[in-house]
Structure formats: structure tokens, C-alpha cells
Chains A and B, each alone.
Chain A
Amino acid sequence: MSWSQDQMVARAAAEIADGMYVNLGIGLPTEVANRIPPGVTVTLHSENGLLGMGPFPLDAEVDPQIINAGKQTVTILPGGSVFDSALSFAMIRGGHIDLAILGGLEVAVSGDLANWTVPGKMTTGMGGAMDLAAGARRVIVLQTHAAKNGAAKLVRTLSLPATALACTSRVITDLGVFDPAGDHFKCIERAANVTDDEITAKTGATVRFAPTVG
């Protein structure tokens, strides 16, 4: 059985250590906020200019001028702060954000990431994706292992336009956990009952299985 989306999210949340400043990308990564392990205090950053982002507001608390980078209404936790966009991206590029968990379309063995546009489709623009991928101290990509049509999303070299080069430390998919290792992916964890053969078949690059995986 491959991991469900919720299991993927929980596995990503396990990467967060106490005291970290973390930015969660739009989409599935946003859900990581709901699965932070007990006892772990994390400060969430939203690149539109907010540190200490809290959960969605109660209906009575909704404030149109408190939003996240996905333009959803959110709250600010005690100790939170707001600032302009230049300072917000100084936090990102300056290596002050410990971890960014981002969605992905393709990750290469080099750690190159593509997640912002698909040629031939109307682009949405990159927003803050390129800054986060290039700037955060550690980038973890949370994505399905293969596309709906079966195409591999863990690849030898990107076929899609890059978001940033050599930026990805780890990829968490529905089949397991994979670290880009230069010329191959190192599988460091497998979803229960997923075989090496299945992983190899669904990956567009060499996979080596760490001895402890099993």
C-alpha cells in the first residue's frame, strides 16, 4: 500500500524539529501545519509578510487584511509579526528560514526542482517559488511519485522549466522518502508493502536502497 495524502503530510511533518522557522508551500504542503508532532513548536512564515501564522480564523475572527501567500484568511499567533515583502524575502534568501516544504512537478537526481510552469499551459507565474527553492536552508518536496498518466516525477534530468537548481534535499512521495544523491536517488524509507521493483519501475532515474530500508 502506498501512502495516502495524509500519511505523506504526516511524514513531511516529522521533518520539522522544535524551534524551526518553516515556510509551507501552497497546496498539499499547507496541510503539514495540521500534523505538527506534539511537543514541537514551529514558527510558520508566509512570504507575503507574516511570521507566526496561525490556523484559519473562526468565522467571527475573519479579517480581510490578514492573509497568507495563497490569499486565504488566516490568523496571527501571539508573538507573531508582520513586515514588508523585501524583509520577508530577506528572511528566505538570507538562509533564516530553516525549512521550506514545497510541492513539485519534477525533481532530478541533482536536486533540481521544477514546480512552477508547464510549457503549453497558461502559466500562473512563479510567485515566491523560485526564491523559496533557491533561498531556504533546506528544501523538502512533497509530491506524488508519478503523474496521473504514469510519467515519472523523479527523473534523471528535468524535462520541465527549472524553479531552482540543486536545491532539493529530500522528496517525500506516496511510495517513500528519497534523497537526490547526484547521479541517483537514495531511497531511505519505503511505504509499507511497496516493493523495490515498484519504486524502480515508477522512477525515471537510478534508485539505490539504503541498507536500513526494509
Chain B
Amino acid sequence: MASNKVHADASAALAGLLRDGMTIMAGGFGLSGNAERCIDEIARSGVRGLHIISNNCGNQGQGLAILLKGRQVARVLCSFIGGNPDLAEQYAAGTVAVELSPQGTLAERIRAGGAGLGGFFTPTGVGTSVAEGKEVRDIDGKRYVLEKPLRADLAIVRAAVGDPDGNLRFYRTARAFNPLCATAARVTVAEVDHLCGKGELDPDDIHLPGIFVHRIFEAKDHKNPIEFRTTRPTSGTP
């Protein structure tokens, strides 16, 4: 891996990484925390047959749904389809294969992949369709189902601040799956709102150490779409 991780833009950061049939992890939750420029660049590249691992795979035609609209996706591993008509439609039509994983199981499978574990036993899904075909084991009187780790060829993640070493700091609930995905891919590309100078991030304030990030670029003016804009009135109780 090149010692210089900093790239000018998504096109440069993703150069040479994209190919048909590859597995891509994406770290957003709904329309929050998405690597928007990376998604646009993957759309522009025209690669097809993608296997996407992401909690939602986009929503309301935005985020990763852009890749669904372009018929670039063959398989999706996610926890939630609601609010994503593109995925629901292509799943129903049989043109995209969908594997549903409980949200916490999905997060932990990615964590396990990044941490070099062979899997884990979780109480989630015992006695449900999720456990079908999987080992269920009694451990100290409680039943758990074996879930296996997930890895990807590429992770695209979004952070608020990054530095030239790839250290990342996330913002609010845009964190979600981002730091997990970053650990579990052969190559991780980070798209940051602000690229700061070396040493400007305090070591105590780094949420994800740069060892997990191979390429990084700054992207300003993210769309940050809102799925449900809910507010309370100016006066009175919430």
C-alpha cells in the first residue's frame, strides 16, 4: 500500500479498485453517513453485478439506491428494505438477491470480519427463520445461533474529519456502520468532510485509527438528505 493515502477526489481514490462482481461494504445508516461521492463514482464507472453489504442499501432513490437504479447490483446483504422502493422492486422481480440479517447481527458480523474472528454465537434469531441452516448451541443454559464473519473487497466510508494518516473522527449518528465497515475490507476508502493536517487530530479524539484506511479524500458540500424531517413547534412542550 502506498504511503501517500491522500487523493484529490473520489475518481482518484477509487482508481483501479472497481470491477464487476466485487463485494462492497458501505457504512451509512439510511441516508445519513453515506460516502456520497464514492457512490456517484461507482455509478459513473458502470461496474455491474455488485454485492453490496449495507444496513439499508440506500433509501428513497438516494444513496446506494443510485446503484440499484443503474442495475449495477446483483446481491444485497442488509437488515432493512423499508423506504427503499428500488430494492423492494428488484427483490420482488428476482433481479436482485437479498439476504436479510438482524441489524445487530449484521454489525457484529462485520466487526468479526474486521477483527479476524471466525464468527460468534448470538441469542438474536434463535427460533426464527434467521437461524435456519445455522448451528444453534446451548451455552450455559441459553441458546445461541452461530453467525459467520463478513469481509469485502472494498469499503466506502464517510467521516467528518480525517488526516493524511487516515485517522478518522465521525459526527453524531452518521457513525453507525462506518467504522465497522472500514475494518473489514481489503481496501478502505474514506470520504471526509474535512481533511486536516497531520497531528491536528488529538490521539484521544480519533474514533478510527488510520491503519484501517488506505485511501482518503476530502469532499465538501455533501447533500446529507433527510429521510423524515420531523420537528417540534417553537413554543410549548415537545
Contacts of B124 in A (CB 8 A): 93, 130-131, 134-135, 164
Given A128-B104, A131-B102: A85 and B180 within 8 A (CB)? yes
CB contact between B32 and one of A34, A64, A76, A124 (< 8 Å): that residue? A64
Asked if A199 is at the interface of the complex by the 8 Å CB criterion, the answer is: no
> Once the chains are docked, how many angstroms separate the CA of A163 from the CA of B100?
13
Contact segment of A8-16, A42-50, A145-153, A183-191: A42-50
Interface residues on B, range: 35 or more
What residues on A are CB-neighbors of B79 within 8 Å? 125-128
Task: Give complex CA distance A49, B126 in Å.
Answer: 24
Known contacts: A48-B29, A48-B173, A86-B111. The answer to whether A93 contacts B104 by CB under 8 A is: yes
Chain-A contact segment, one of B3-11, B80-88, B197-205, B213-221: B80-88
B238 and A162 form a contact (CB under 8 A): no
Which of A53-61, A168-176, A201-209 lies at the interface with chain B?
A53-61
Bound Cα distance A150, B173 (Å): 40
Contact call A56/B232, Cβ cutoff below 8 A: yes
List residues 84-110 of chain B with CB under 8 A from any CB of chain A: 88, 92, 100, 102-108, 110
In the complex, A134 Cα to B125 Cα: how many Å?
8
Please provide the chain A residues from 106 to 127 with a CB less than 8 Å away from any CB of chain B in the complex.
112, 122-127
Q: Determine the distance from Cα of A126 to Cα of B103 in the docked complex, in whole angstroms.
A: 8
Cβ of A74 within 8 Å of any chain B Cβ, yes or no, is yes
A25 to B122, CA, bound (A): 21
Interface pairs (9), CB distance under 8 Å: A57-B230, A64-B31, A65-B173, A65-B224, A71-B83, A74-B230, A82-B170, A85-B107, A92-B104
**Residues of B near any A CB (own CB < 8 A):** 29-33, 55, 59, 78-83, 88, 92, 100, 102-108, 110-111, 122-130, 170-180, 224-232, 234, 238
A interface with B by C-beta (< 8 Å):
34, 46-50, 54-59, 62-68, 70-74, 76, 82-86, 88-89, 92-93, 112, 122-131, 134-135, 161-165
